[in-house]
Amino acid sequence: MLLNYLFPHFMHEDTGGKWLISLLIAITLLVVMFNFFIPESSALHIPTYMVTLLGKYLCLALLAIALDLVWGYCGILSLGHGAFFALGGYAMGMYLMRQIGDRGVYGNAELPDFMVFLNWHELPWYWQGFEYFSFTALMIILVPGLLAYVFGWMTFRSRVTGVYLSIMTQALTYALLLAFFRNEMGLGGNNGLTDFKDILGFSLQADGTRIILFTLSALALISGYIASRFIVQSKLGKTVVAIRDAELRTRFIGYKVEDYKLWIFVFSAMLAGIAGALYVPQVGIINPGEFSPLNSIELAIWVAIGGRGTLFGAVIGALLVNYAKTYFTGALPEFWLFALGTLFIVSTLYLPQGIVGLFSQFTNKQQKQSAKHGALQEETT
């Protein structure tokens, strides 16, 4: 296939991924063009709020990939992945708060408004460094990664699996929810962080900034997808699937299972953190609600509906469900949760492989052909 020349070797068999990425690039270019170059008076013009909405979807799709890595491939159903997303978001939020400077309501150059309001006199230690973007970028990856590392180290080592692990991840995100609600945390309590003005000196309200954020989200999704594909195609990825299917067997052929689970869990948390960090400047707020256990459950539903263990299924699921959510919460707000529930039940009953399972017959044929092809190659080399 001609398309193969454009993709790295580990994606050559990934028909769905190649389509997805090609489409994403095409859509990104089109959206940018129709927003930027077509005058607002024209019917073809894509308004900026729509661009931002699409950007949000893309961030959520990246989050779905992160969950698919641990759930679809490693069999760890994390129902707390929203926590890593939110932590990445808070890190970005802290940077955006520092960017406000003295333009807040109280005009304090050092302290964010909510701290002035609470009569705080100096910036807590953990706010130090967030005035630098590079430091923030590091924290966006490190903080979720570290939490995942500590949590994973404790649970995987004690061989907690299955439902128990899922419950513990729920507890994790719930505990964080409660903690972030408290004003004493110094992260805006109930209201969270908001009223952002600039990012890297560019106004967040400007069309240009929003288009760039959208483009960056698309880029992050594409690179996150490619990186994840590289991982699942590698021997590490095969080992992770082996752990999912026969953990004991994997252990008894000499793999330190905990290490593998921990690695993929931490990587996934970092990916979720990046998604959260790109999400926050586009929605303009981060509050403890992002830690809500319901968010994480919804995330699992996107992946289940899209199709587990394929990566592109997660992306499709996230985009479709979130589009539906936007539509329903606008048109029939009280129906959204019912619609989501129905969607979930229908997909688990009739589409256990998710939406991508529908195409599986087609791809199976393809796989068989390429397997034959591979066998021939194997023989000739």
Residues that bind other proteins (CB under 8 A): 231, 234-236, 238-239, 241-242, 245-246, 248-257, 259-260, 263, 371-372, 374-375, 378
Residue 229 CB, shortest distance to other proteins, in Å, is 13
In the complex with other proteins, the residue whose CB is nearer, 109 or 248, is 248
**Spatial separation of the C-alpha atoms in residues 80 and 240, rounded to whole Å:** 20
- State the nearest-atom distance from the C-beta of 366 to other proteins, in Å: 13
Residues whose CB is less than 8 angstroms from the CB of residue 157 and which lie 6 or more positions away in sequence, other chains included: 258
Note whether 162 and 59 are within 8 A (CB): no
Shortest spacing between CB 120 and other proteins, in angstroms? 43
Instruction: Report, in Å, the least distance between residue 14 CB and other proteins.
Output: 16
Query: Are 268 and 69 in contact, with CB atoms under 8 Å apart?
Result: yes
Taking the complex as a whole, how short is the minimal distance between the CB of residue 1 and other proteins, in angstroms?
Answer: 20
Give the nearer residue to other proteins in terms of CB position, either 255 or 328.
255
Q: Work out how close the CB of 78 gets to other proteins at its nearest, in angstroms, rounded to a whole number.
A: 19
CB nearer other proteins, residue 182 or residue 372: 372
Minimum CB distance to other proteins smaller for 152 or for 281: 152
> Which one, 205 or 234, has the nearer CB to other proteins?
234
b/e string for 43-74 if b means 16 or more Cβ within 10 A? eeebebeebbbbbbbbbbbbbbbbbbbbbbbb
Please, which residue, 104 or 224, has the CB nearer to other proteins? 224
